């Protein structure tokens, strides 16, 4: 495993922006740098940040946020086409339903809600993640994908992409957990909630990603079958994705 190559790119208006390139694949090649970036939302970028985005050559932003999230913090970046890949934040709705009943979930119950959210990514949102991978393939220019914090929907999207490129799961988990070191929480986005609940919701834990991988393995026959089945990529498309984003 080679866990160190991830490059965090310092921006004033986004804390979790980083290059997915540099990771070593299981056949000892490397994911190309400067092609695919992951981030938290892009609505607070400064003029200097926008110049940096332009210098990176980013032409498309793939936005996993729900309608209310995008409406609250929209953006329009010159030269960058925003592509809506809407996945509504169901964990928030579930949490609000509990609160409405006067129920405050425990830390363990909140973790289980997050695990269920990740199982939903696998089983309910496979088609959307398939569109994400196909968009990368169809537009071979630098792209960035994101949600609000760049941790859950973005984290699973990164896990899928790196899996398709042949990166091992330990390295994928390393990339996933970098959010806890990089993302700066924003109280304006989090809403009100009990501190122990909010801590779970706005960080990442290995258990969340493991729930997704377990669902892939037990319900879909493993990552290979999942990518070719529910996600909807042909073997040729996966091969082309590897040719485009992996270097010898």
**Structural domain includes residue 5:** no
CA distances from 120 to 35, 132, 159, 209, 211 (A): 28, 16, 15, 12, 10
Per-residue burial over 203-242, b = 16 or more CB atoms within 10 Å of its CB, e = otherwise: bbeeebbebbbebbeeebeebeebbbebbebeeebbeebb
Domain-located, residue 130 = yes
Find the helix or strand (DSSP H, E) in which 146 lies.
Answer: strand 143-146
77 within domain boundaries: yes
Q: In what order do the strands lie in the sheet with 18-19?
A: 7-8, 18-19, 36-39, 143-146, 60-63, 81-84
Please return the burial class of 47, using the count of CB atoms within 10 Å of its CB with bins 0-12, 13-18 and 19+.
Answer: exposed
Q: What is the pLDDT of residue 151?
A: 96
Determine the pLDDT at residue 107.
Answer: 93
In a domain, 3, yes or no: no
Predicted pLDDT at 111: 95
pLDDT value of residue 192: 64
* CB-based contact 206:159 (threshold 8 Å): no
Question: Residue 32 domain-assigned?
Answer: yes
Indicate which residue of 85, 114, 147, 162 is catalytic: 147
Whether the CA torsion 246, 58, 235, 156 is positive or negative: it is positive
Q: Is residue 4 domain-resident?
A: no
> Is 195 a member of any domain?
yes
User: The domain containing residue 106 runs over which residues?
Assistant: 16-247
Instruction: Give the count of domains, the chain.
Output: 1
Structure-block tokens of residue 245: 């984003």
> pLDDT tens, 222-233?
999 999 999 999
Q: How far apart are CA 19 and CA 3, in angstroms?
A: 13
CATH number at residue 135: 3.90.190.10
In a domain, 31, yes or no: yes
Where do runs of H (alpha helix) occur along the chain? 47-56, 67-72, 90-100, 107-124, 126-138, 153-164, 169-177, 179-182, 187-190, 195-201, 206-220, 223-228, 235-245
Q: Which two tokens stand for residue 124?
A: 């309910």
Give the model's pLDDT for residue 2. Answer: 44
Instruction: List per-residue pLDDT tens for the chain, 248 residues long.
Output: 445 556 789 999 999 999 999 999 999 999 999 999 999 999 999 999 999 999 999 999 999 999 999 999 999 999 999 999 999 988 777 777 787 788 888 999 999 999 999 999 999 999 999 999 999 999 999 999 999 999 999 999 999 999 999 999 999 999 999 999 999 988 777 766 788 888 888 899 999 999 999 999 999 999 999 999 999 999 999 999 999 999 98
To the query of whether residue 104 is one of the catalytic residues in this protein, the response is no
Give me the phi and psi of 184, to 5 degrees please.
-95, 115
């Amino acid at each position: 495993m080679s866990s160190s190559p991830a490059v965090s790119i310092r921006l004033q208006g986004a804390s979790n922006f980083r290059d997915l390139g540099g990771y070593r694949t299981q056949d000892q090649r490397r994911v190309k740098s400067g092609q695919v970036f992951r981030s938290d939302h892009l609505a607070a970028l400064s003029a200097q940040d926008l110049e940096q985005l332009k210098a990176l050559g980013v032409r498309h932003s793939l936005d996993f946020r729900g309608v209310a999230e995008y409406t609250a913090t929209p953006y329009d970046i010159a030269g960058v086409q925003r592509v809506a890949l809407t996945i509504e934040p169901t964990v928030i709705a579930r949490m609000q339903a509990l609160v409405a009943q006067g129920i405050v979930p425990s830390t363990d119950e909140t973790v289980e809600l997050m695990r269920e959210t990740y199982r939903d990514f696998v089983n309910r949102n496979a088609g959307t993640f398939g569109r994400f991978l196909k968009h990368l393939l169809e537009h071979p220019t630098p792209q960035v994908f994101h949600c609000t914090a760049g941790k859950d929907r973005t984290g699973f999207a990164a896990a899928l992409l790196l899996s398709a490129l042949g990166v091992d799961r330990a390295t994928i988990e390393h990339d996933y957990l970098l959010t806890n070191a990089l993302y700066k929480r924003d109280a304006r986005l989090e809403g009100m909630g009990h501190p122990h609940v909010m801590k779970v919701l706005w960080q990442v834990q290995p258990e969340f990603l493991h729930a997704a991988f377990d669902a892939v393995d037990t319900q879909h026959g493993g990552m290979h079958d999942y990518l070719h089945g529910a996600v909807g990529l042909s073997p040729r498309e996966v091969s082309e994705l590897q040719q485009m984003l992996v270097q010898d």
